[in-house]
Amino acid sequence: MRAALTLLAVLFGLPAQASSIERFQSYVQTTHSARADFEQKVFDGRRQLVQSATGQFSFERPGRFRWTYLTPARQLIVGDGERVWIYDEELAQVTVRRLARALGSTPAALLAGSADVVQAFEFTELGVREGLEWLEAKPREAEAGFERIRLGLSAVGVEAMELVDHFGQTTKLRFSNVERNPTLDASRFRFTPPPGTDVLGQP
């Protein structure tokens, strides 16, 4: 579920002196839908690159999102508001889970969950690095899949995300071609397993 994680949109309407926490809270309150391209890189505990991928992401609050991996292998993750479907095209296999259990205190919850999702995390401002203002979110749930999530904000919005798991592995995401509050077709957030697909879990 690490991948379900993440698309951020442009933030508007706050003065330049607003803190990164205030800017992120404004994003959660005013961004109802978004879409973007992403580049993802995964590093092990020794900071060695072990995986890279590209794709597209869109979401519509609350709980609907579509995360499409295009390279190196096609994979699709769809949240329909009640369930999360993880489809591996090469394996012809889909795993389905209840949305509440799949999201919890995850990056996907931060981006596509309800407006009060910020209560599930403890936020800390980290200062400026690589030209971005960084904010750290630690899940309050002890069983969350991540140790911490870092959000990189510029003057106009969030441009980067770093996810650190309990094994020291770091997933870095960079976003481009971001659209904030577009009108999205409802069919994007529905999934029907193709004929012959193995379904794991309870649809």
Neighbours of 142 (CB within 10 A): 6
Q: Is the pLDDT of residue 93 over 90?
A: yes
Q: 162: helix, coil or strand?
A: strand
Residue 36 near residue 180 (C-beta atoms within 8 A): no
Residue 67 near residue 76 (C-beta atoms within 8 A): yes
Among residues of the chain, what percentage have pLDDT more than 70? 77
The model scores a pTM over 0.75: yes
Q: For the chain, give the number of residues.
A: 203
The closest of 175, 168, 170 to 150, measured between CA atoms, is: 170
Binning the chain into helix, strand and coil, the percentages to the nearest 5 are: 15, 45, 35
Residue 15's pLDDT is what?
A: 40
Q: Is the pLDDT of residue 169 over 60?
A: yes
Rounded to whole angstroms, what are the CA distances from 21 to 27, 77, 89, 139?
10, 28, 38, 15
**CATH number of the domain at 20-201, out of 2.50.20.10, 2.20.25.10, 2.70.150.10, 1.10.3720.10?**
2.50.20.10
Residue 143's pLDDT is what?
A: 65
Which of 12-21, 84-93, 125-134 is the most confident on average? 84-93
